[in-house]
Structure 1
Amino acid sequence: MKQIKIALIGNPNCGKTTMFNDLTGSNQYVGNWPGVTVEKKEGGLKGHDDVIITDLPGIYSLSPYTLEEVVSRNYLLQNDVDGVLNLVDGSNIERNLYLTTQVMEMGYPVTIALNMIDIVRKNGDKIDTAKLAAELGCEIVETSALQGEGTGEAAEKAIKAVGGAAPKYMRFCSEVEDALTAIAREAGNKVHGISERWLLVKLFERDKKIAEALGLSEGEQAKIEEIVAACEEALDDDAESIITNERYNYIGELMSNAVVKGHTGLTISDKIDSIVTNRFLALPIFAIIMFLVYYIAVETVGTVVTDFTNDTLFGEWIQPWVQEHMEAAECE
């Protein structure tokens, strides 16, 4: 019986571990990814002897900036995955969809689990999942991993999607799309497979690890550099920023078409952030906090604790006890 491998991917703190535990129960295998200390968790899907769920490290993007990101993208690039279950925090959907746009370029069948839907409802937000699914070209299931809502359905949808068409990938502006076409022409058959689109975007972003992995010659890299530089000049920005802005512009369109925020006012956390990160107030606030920490630690509580430790705990209690036992030992 051929095993079906489903990769579970999402941002940190999106409820991914909770969902993994709910889907696999006690059928889990924990170890480390080869050559690194990053934890690797796999498990059999409950009720399915032929389905393996791999819990990839929580990441914000498929860029090579952290060890977790490198582990996740290398695993997906091995082409040893049958489908992807992308966990998206519905209460923080805009930030989470950034990773989704990248995952969809990898070419695998993707199912989105729109998690923390209970918090979305509590906040009064409304997400038109049908419209969002139509825009992205994949199935979306509303879930609450903490309450066990929809997790099984999401897994079943991910299994059903295996062998089907890959989801849509976003289209960049014409200048970038022309540059990607030119890069594909220069790279030739070295860029191929289901992840071709993602590889082209990474070459545009000057991802050295990908260029090395593809075995591009110095001449090919030089021509690709000319293409990227010309696009940067035309758009007056660097390549990575161009792609980042394009992604968020795309996500902004998705949000305006499918998401309605119930509470438009700032949360308490947002209000606090607006004060402590203010360009004029941040440094004075930091200085005041550091002074208070020093004052409390040295002049008040710290002094009391230090005096008690030195004079009472060790001076009056422990030292006499130690001396008494040492004298008793000498007498023996």
Structure 2
Amino acid sequence: MRQEVRIALAGNPNSGKTTMFNELTGTYQHVGNWPGVTVEKKEGSLKGRRDVKVMDLPGIYSLSPYTLEEVISRNYLLEEEPDVIIDIVDASNLERNLYLTTQLLETGIPVVVALNMMDIIINRGDVIDTEKLSEALGCPVVETSAMRGKGIENLVQAALAAADEKTPPTPGRFSDDVEPAIQKIEALIKDSVSQKSLRWYAIKLFERDGKLALALSEQQKQQIEKVIAECETAQEDEAESIITSERYVYISGMIGPIYKKKSVGKFTVSDRIDRIVT
């Protein structure tokens, strides 16, 4: 008998995540609060599949420890280890939304990107090459429009396949100036954390994340701090800012070849109608 499958929904606020949750679960959902806090907790079962549970995580912009929503989300992902993450990405704000995606991929949990609000992109006359985006991210990407109920079945199939295969994603790498520092920290903590989330912990240690629950020796801490300080000196910047910059450089380089905006002077049918009636 197949065991229960657990899907975590993650995404930025206003990415269409709640609408997607309702599309996936219908009336099979329960609303409460996360233990000890007033942050809403919503979970349910996939329509027609009581053995597939869906957890709607709070809307967040990153997995940093600065808001209660971020802490709840990252603790759930790392402690509960769902079978797959469906990352709801607002296609009309791709760069901003992919900032969270890069971090979700580092958790080691299989990820499927729901490229949501694609109807907006189509109406603009823009084009996103989802196959190239999938190759660049190293995970499945499915075009959806939760508001219109489009792409939902394909998304479910991709998520269940990813959960069944249990293949961890391949997160992106940083520049040659920063990546060696992350790899040094990985080597220092490889016996202290799960192998699949090794990179996530290494990056958070580099950022001096104050809410990591890791039992490290004083020697490990000193060696890690030495690696961070050397990189900060070389980059003339603080560690957390270095990682933020690296993420956006990585995302920008990824988006360039896959996102084509409508050429100036070319009009869609909708544009032409607007020009006539206004």
User: Normalising to structure 2: TM-score of the pair?
Assistant: 0.91
Q: Distance in 2 between matches of 1:116 and 1:98?
A: 17
Letter in 2 for 1:34: P
Q: Which has the higher helix share?
A: 1
- Could you say which residue in structure 1 is the equivalent of 2:275? none
Structure 2 unaligned residues grouped into runs of 5+: 266-278
Higher relative contact order (CA 8 A, sep 6+): 2
Matching residue of 1:170: 172
Unaligned runs of 5+ in 1: 266-332
- CA 1:99 to 1:264, structure 2 compared with 1: closer, same or farther past 3 Å? farther
Following TM superposition, by how much is the alpha carbon of 1:218 offset from its aligned partner in structure 2, in angstroms?
3.3
Match of 1:229, as an amino acid?
A
Deviation at 1:186, TM superposition (A): 2.8
- Conservation of the 8 A alpha-carbon contact between 1:62 and 1:69: yes
| Residue type at the aligned position of 1:187 | I
String of CA shifts for 1:31-68, please: whole Å, max 9, x gaps: 11112111110010002121001000000000001000
Specify the alignment match of 2:24 in structure 1. Answer: 23
Deviations 1:121-179 (A, max 9, x none): 11111100011111111111111110101122212210111133222201012232211
Partner residue in 2 for 1:73? 74
Query: Would you say the 8 A contact 1:110–1:139 is kept in 2?
Result: yes
For structure 1, which segment, 187-196 or 31-40, has the greater mean C-alpha deviation from structure 2 after superposition?
Answer: 187-196
Q: Secondary structure at the match of 1:53?
A: strand
How much does 1:222 deviate? 2.2
Q: How big is the shift at 1:264?
A: 7.1
| Residue of structure 1 in register with 2:245 after alignment | 245
Aligned counterpart, 2:96: 95
Against the structure 1 CA distance between its residues 264 and 42, is the aligned structure 2 distance closer, same or farther, given a 3 Å change threshold? Answer: farther
- CA distances 1:232-255 after superposition (whole Å, capped 9, x unpaired): 111111111111111111111111
Which residue type is aligned with residue 70 of structure 1? V
In the TM superposition, residue 182 of structure 1 has moved relative to its aligned partner by: 1.9
Given that 1:105 and 1:198 are in contact with CA atoms closer than 8 Å, whether structure 2 keeps it comes out as yes
Q: How many residues align?
A: 263
1:34 aligns to 2:54 (yes or no): no
Q: CA deviation at 1:217?
A: 3.0
Q: Return the alpha-carbon distance in structure 1 between the equivalents of residues 146 and 42 of structure 2.
A: 17
Q: CA contact under 8 A between 1:6 and 1:83: conserved in structure 2?
A: yes
- Matches of residues 6-21 of structure 1 in structure 2 within 5 Å? 6-21=7-22
Quote the RMSD (CA, aligned, Å): 1.5
- Residues 123 and 263 of structure 1 are in contact (CA less than 8 Å); yes or no, is this contact kept in structure 2? no
Tell me what 2:200 maps to.
198
Q: Give the Cα separation in 2 of the matches to 1:114 and 1:40.
A: 24
2:86/2:114 contact within 8 Å kept: yes
**Residue 79 of structure 1, CA deviation:** 4.1
Structure 1 residue matching 2:53: 3-state secondary structure: strand
For the residue of structure 2 that corresponds to 1:173, the secondary structure is: coil
After superposition, what is the alpha-carbon deviation per residue over 1:279-308, rounded to whole angstroms, capped at 9, x for unaligned? xxxxxxxxxxxxxxxxxxxxxxxxxxxxxx
Return the alpha-carbon distance in structure 2 between the equivalents of residues 117 and 219 of structure 1.
Answer: 50
- Percent sequence identity over aligned pairs: 55
Q: How far 1:228 sits from its partner (Å)?
A: 0.1
- TM-score w.r.t. the length of structure 1 is 0.76
4+ residue stretches of structure 1 with deviation over 4 A?
Answer: none
State the partner residue of 2:142.
Answer: 141
Contact 1:112 1:140 in 2 (8 A): yes
Give the counterpart letter for 1:183 in structure 2: I
Contact 1:104 1:110 in 2 (8 A): yes
